[in-house]
Structure 1
């Protein structure tokens, strides 16, 4: 995916987030959690001792998404993790054709997307995170 495309989709996702959030971006982890719930994503905080675990969006039940996140991060860290994961959800839900490599999380209930930092969904979500938390 070219940089221009990445920027285009990231800005579209920020617009979707603003629309669902009543025009504003959430300011803290609680706000991002409420936004996730507006998208129908269940947010589940975990006390994790696994090194490096931040958050993971998973479709476990076949008809809904769960977002597991490390509750031990700072409020800003948790907010960024939730932002990143809801951005990946929007990329899956609204723009499935743009994902490279193709992402089948919507069709395989046990597929969690992996953590390949080169995939389009991850790169777009990183850019959304930058746009939402700049300044």
Structure 2
């Protein structure tokens, strides 16, 4: 029971954190490259309720993805490494999308903010990190 409460509290905290930082996940990378404060992407995102919830829900799902890995692999004391793999692949996919988006702006192929979708890439990165963790720890489990 205590573990369930602990995970629910962690999910709520991460969801609220995701809601608070979601504008920065769009504005910061574009502003960093442009050299000035850019808020165009977050203006588009504010128009859509569904798109507004993608990043908070994705970030809040990390403990559930960890529990999935823990149940599938049956290994003990792997939590730090699993969280690292899941989060790093999510950030890797997110940064890959930022790079593609910036290259599209530079080449003139992207002129519409509807093509941003950073949240989807973060979500697919977390899912890929989960599958990668399962694969790694299943191989370790077989060798042990």
Fold conserved between structures, TM > 0.5: no
TM-score normalised per structure 2: 0.29
Instruction: Judging by fraction of residues, say which structure has more strand.
Output: 1
**Which protein shows a greater Rg?**
2
More helix by share: 2
TM-score (norm 1): 0.30
